[in-house]
Chains A and B, each alone.
Chain A
């Protein structure tokens, strides 16, 4: 299956600083990438959807100025958590989907990034 990588896998930062998480599709071109967050023992919560070269679409309740998403190429999307606070501590997972001729194919997930804000 297709491979999606994330970097870093684990990051600890101080309150008030910003953290950037990278998501890469390694063997396919991802027209659409998704960012999720997951709290312990809970399901994935979609934060935003990004298409290469255009602005991300954020889900209701997600602050776009706090969670900056850039999908600069068909293989790379970044999520920047700005002015992080302890309540932003979570497991962030990206997902990438390849689309051909308007049809969506399978959606593949990265291994996740655990963010701890102290």
Chain B
């Protein structure tokens, strides 16, 4: 079993839809949770960064963490064609220094006109 599970998609939605992207994890040591967006042939871009259970909102994006269920989500409101990309969840342990990110496989999202 992988430490981080993420549905690879592809996920296709109409413009304006609410998108829900999810990851589950098995390692209870994970404390920091991130969502990255990656366009084709580009490096990942950090979207959201949280370190506690609950919700965090930034514009059209909301990150949700449920540590009791080991489940994180990213919601995109009013989705746009420019949101079409691969979304990667990532997480790391509590300690600083050399802690490393563990990535999900990424969900490919396509927002259609």
Q: Which residues of A contact B (CB under 8 A)?
A: 1, 4, 6, 32, 34, 41-44, 46, 49, 51, 57, 91, 93, 99, 102-104, 106-112, 114
Taking the closest CB of chain A, its distance from the CB of B48, in whole angstroms, is 10
Can you add 14 more A-B contacts, CB < 8 Å, to A43-B106, A104-B97? A32-B98, A41-B108, A42-B105, A43-B104, A44-B103, A49-B100, A93-B43, A102-B97, A104-B96, A104-B99, A109-B43, A111-B42, A112-B41, A112-B42
The main secondary structure of chain A at its interface with chain B is strand
Contact check, B44 vs A44: say whether CB atoms are below 8 A apart. yes
Contact check, A43 vs B46: say whether CB atoms are below 8 A apart. no
In the assembly, what is the distance between CA of A49 and CA of B100, in Å? 8
Note all chain B residues with C-beta closer than 8 A to A109.
36, 43-46
Note all chain B residues with C-beta closer than 8 A to A104.
32, 92, 96-97, 99
- Select A51's contact among B8, B98, B108, beta carbons within 8 Å: B98
In the assembly, what is the distance between CA of A1 and CA of B46, in Å? 9
Q: Which of B19-57 contact A (CB under 8 A)?
A: 32, 34, 36, 41-46, 49
- Select B101's contact among A1, A6, A41, A107, beta carbons within 8 Å: A107
Note all chain B residues with C-beta closer than 8 A to A107.
34, 46, 101
Contact check, B88 vs A43: say whether CB atoms are below 8 A apart. yes
The main secondary structure of chain B at its interface with chain A is loop
Known: A43-B88, A104-B92. A112 touches B43 (CB 8 A): yes
Can you list 8 A-B contacts (CB < 8 A)? A1-B46, A4-B43, A32-B97, A104-B99, A106-B46, A110-B43, A111-B43, A112-B42
In the assembly, what is the distance between CA of A46 and CA of B36, in Å? 16
Known: A91-B41, A104-B32, A104-B92. A46 touches B100 (CB 8 A): yes
Contact check, B45 vs A43: say whether CB atoms are below 8 A apart. no
Note all chain A residues with C-beta closer than 8 A to B103.
43-44
The residue on A at minimum CB distance from B43 is A109
Sorted nearest first, the 9 A-B pairs with minimum C-beta distance are A109-B43, A104-B96, A112-B43, A43-B105, A111-B43, A109-B44, A102-B96, A103-B96, A43-B103
The residue on A at minimum CB distance from B49 is A106
